[in-house]
Structure formats: structure tokens, C-alpha cells
Amino acid sequence: MQLSKKTYSGYQEYPEKVLQFGEGNFLRCFVDWMFHELNKKNGFNGSVVVVQPIDKGMVNMLNEQDGLYTLYLRGLKNGKAESSHETIDVISRGINPYEDFQAYLKTSENPEMRYVISNTTEAGISYNENDKPTDAPPVSFPAKLAVWLHNRYTTFNGDASKGVHIIPCELIEKNADNLKKVILQLAEKWGYEAGFVNWLNSACTFSNTLVDRIVPGYPRERIAEITQELGYEDKQVVEGEPFHLWVIEAPEQLQKELPFPSIGLDVLYVKDVTPYRTRKVRILNGAHTTLVPVAYLYGIDTVRESVEHPVVGKYLKDAIFEEIIPTLDLPKEELEQFANEVIDRFRNPYIKHLLMSISLNSWSKFETRVLPSILEYKKRKGSIPQHLAFSLAATIAFYKGKRGEEAIALNDDAAAMELLKSAWASSDGSEKALNEVVTKVLGYEKNWKMNLNEVEGLNEAVTKHLVNIEEYGMKKAIEMI
């Protein structure tokens, strides 16, 4: 028996109010769950139409289950492991615009349609010069949305009350500003009338956002156990952690229309999402990047094991609380609370997060996630943060490509890989040679956007730690910080 409206006794139909680009696990575990909660607890009385943003996708599978799916939330709550599940019934249908473009366009003619949500990956919000307004559909997401918005404007003769709130969830800075910029660029190129541009600017809103929830997705390894527990087959099961945070630069009207905070959801309506984005990138993402090479070379394979390890776990907490948090401008109490939540999330017993899965493109990640903390710490304190410098040394050691006798499956930018390979190949392991490796890495301006050898004390600190790692091994070197 498969999950469907025939087999689910609680099935309800709601007016279609939300157009959503993306049918993947994250949006279904995050935004769709929130609208589901708003229906239950606030009488929102709305459903989501899901649009498949690329040619190949899963809306057909979603439609086979009438938009229904089971959501499992599993993680630590107040220090205790908790698992819960419920059926989410907020999706009315899925549309593949590559198969039925007119059905997609027709949704813009629905007077009750009010919100546009998207998560089309970081590459989704981009300008494609080959897109045309006559394409059915255009290739890029912004072009699809531009055609949809123009059809809505035309259908309702520019009625300001038929404007929509556009809330992208792509993980790029100023996601809404970038999306609007591309749509206006397309409107100009395509010769759309000035009235449409005025309507877009005055009747529609674009809200920059930050989203945060770990979503492992479809629980393939335990689906047989889940099917037995549920008593029906669900091909769209999705798993996520209880923690969730949605920060939205929302106009007052949107806050009134979507009162997520009033029903207990962690949605923050703010004037500027930047400090929250910086907090997440520096603490959560920065902690991951700081941890990976140290823990892996120590002999650990998962995030949870690392955090719970008496030595590696202490190293990570010291890096966060003593070196990252002092570089941020939000209230200290708020930052420490967020950091403690992050550590609990890393300890989630239901998620097996492999360190190697986070190691992809470590150099670009270090530049965006950790380097800003090093530079800001140096600026504020006048010294080099030793735990973060140790992580940089460990990253250099990691790219030597060996953990004992075991080869490390390195995966990074080709130029960065070649630089490290060449640097290590010419090193004889002496202190002088290791300093030359460090000098080459710190001087790699293509990655750092600057020459890090010019940061007073950084080369010396990283070299010292790299010498200790190479001479004594990670287990001894970490104790010498």
C-alpha cells in the first residue's frame, strides 16, 4: 500500500497560495513543513504548488503520492535523543514545465497565488543570455520566473494587489537581491514594458534569507524499518534534524501574512540578514572546516565522534568559544547559545556525518569560513589565534594525502591540488623545507585573495604547528597548542 490521499485519512485540500521552485529534500523538510504547521496552528489555509526547475526531477514521484510524504525529525533535544514523524499534506501537486509549460504558466493566473519560494542550488540564480521569453520553458530559474511574473502582470492588468512575495532560499549572499537583478536584466533585454518593471518594483517584494537545517534526506539504509513502522510505502520520506532557523529580511506586510514566530517556529524577521549569515558561516561552517583535517588525521571518521572525543572535542570548543566568537558582533550570550546548539547538532546520534564528505574543496572553504576569523582576531587582539592556525597547518598536512599508510581521497580545485602536490614533493621534511611549503600555500593569492605571508605572525605560527604535526603526529601535536 502506497501513501496517497486515498490511504491517508487526514488528507485535506487547501487553496494554492505558494509557488515553489524545487522539489528536493531540503524544501520539503524546511519550508513546506513550516507552511504545514501554519495550516494546522494558524489557519493559513494554503497549499504549495511545486515546480520542477530542471529537466530531470522528481515531481512525478511526488504526484504519485498526491504530494504527501512523511517527515522524520531526529536529533538531540535538551540533551536527549528524540525521534518523531508526521505526514505532511501541504503540497497540492507538482508541475514539470518541460512536459506541461501551460500548466506552469496557468498558476500565475490564480488570484490567490501570493508567495514564491525557491531552492535551485547556488548556481540556480544566474543570468543565461540564451534564454528567450518565447521559450517554453526558458532554461534558467530567473528566466522561468520572469516569464511567470510577466504573465501575472498582464493577466491582472498590473493590479498592485496581485503582486507576490518572493523568498529565495538558495545559499548565496543577498539571494533575493541577486534574483531581482537578473529578472530586471532579462526584462530589459526582452523589451518588457516599463509598467511591468514598475509593478515588479512596487507590488512585489524580494526578501533576502538565510536557511539552516541539516537534512540527510531519504533514509535509504532504514527504509524497510520505516515502511514496517508506518504500515505503508512512502518513496518520498525525508529526514531532518529538529533544529531549524529561517532568517528573513521581510517587509512588515509579509510578517503579518506569515506569522511563523507566533506558532513557535524559529523564524526571525530582521532588517539585515548579514550578521546571522556571518554567524552561521563562521561558527557552524567554520567549525566543520576547522575540525575536518585535525580530526581525520587524529584517526577519527565522523563529526559526532570528533565532538565527543575528549581531546579533539575540547580543541574544537576552544577554537569556537575562544577564537571565533570573539570576532563576531552579535551579543556574546546569543553567539554562545548558537554555538552550543551547533555542538549538539554535531552530536546528533541519528546522523552519520563523515568528515571526508565535508573535506571537498577545503581550500575555498577555509578562505570563506575560517580565514575571516583569523584576520579579524588578529585585528582585534593583535595576535594569531592558535587553534585556527593549527587547523590551517593540519589542512596543509591533510593535503599531503596520507593518514598513516592510508591514502586520502583528496578532492579540490585542480590548481590548488597541483600546488600542494608540488610543494610536498620538493619537501625533505626539515623545518626549513616545511616552512617553504607553508610559504607557498600562504602565498597562493588565487585562493586567499591576498598574500597571507604578509599577515604578521601567521607564517611563523602555521610553520610551528606543521613541524609538530610532521615530527610528533597529530595526537601529540594537538596537545602542544
CA–chain centroid gap for 300, Å, is 25
Strands 16-21 and 69-77: unpaired
- Do residues 358 and 289 touch, judged by C-beta distance below 8 A? yes
**Alpha-carbon span 92 to 102, nearest angstrom:** 17
- Do residues 41 and 265 touch, judged by C-beta distance below 8 A? no
Find, among 427, 399, 403, 425, the residue nearest to 412 by Cα: 399
Cell numbers 626539515: residue: 430
Backbone angles phi, psi at 111, to 5 degrees: -65, -20
Three-class DSSP category at 200: helix
Strands 406-407 and 402-403: antiparallel
**Alpha-carbon span 320 to 152, nearest angstrom:** 48
CA atoms in the 13 A half-sphere facing the CB of 148: 31
**Alpha-carbon span 121 to 77, nearest angstrom:** 29
Tell whether domain 16-269 is in CATH 3.30.70.930: no
> Is 230 buried (19+), middle (13-18) or exposed (0-12) by CB count in 10 A?
middle
Neighbouring C-beta atoms of residue 163, cutoff 10 Å:
20
pLDDT of residue 79: 78
Three-class DSSP category at 100: coil
**Alpha-carbon span 273 to 275, nearest angstrom:** 6
Find, among 167, 179, 255, 246, the residue nearest to 207 by Cα: 167
pLDDT of residue 352: 84
Neighbouring C-beta atoms of residue 481, cutoff 10 Å:
14
pLDDT of residue 80: 84
What residues does each domain of the chain span? Answer: 16-269, 274-480
| 3.40.50.720, 3.40.50.2300, 1.10.1040.10, 3.40.50.300: CATH of 274-480 | 1.10.1040.10
The per-residue pLDDT for range 259-289, each reduced to its tens digit, is 999 999 999 999 999 999 999 999 999 999 9
- Greatest Cα pair distance in the chain: 75
pTM of the complete model: 0.86
**Alpha-carbon span 329 to 278, nearest angstrom:** 10
Q: Which residues contact 87 (CB under 8 A, 6 or more apart)?
A: 3, 8, 10, 68, 69, 70, 71
**Alpha-carbon span 384 to 93, nearest angstrom:** 54
pLDDT of residue 76: 85
Instruction: Please list the residues that pair with 247 across neighbouring strands.
Output: 210, 268
pLDDT of residue 376: 98
Give the residues of the chain that fall short of pLDDT 50: none
Strands of 267-269's sheet in order across:
209-212, 245-248, 267-269
Neighbouring C-beta atoms of residue 136, cutoff 10 Å:
14
pLDDT of residue 268: 96
- Do residues 2 and 9 touch, judged by C-beta distance below 8 A? no
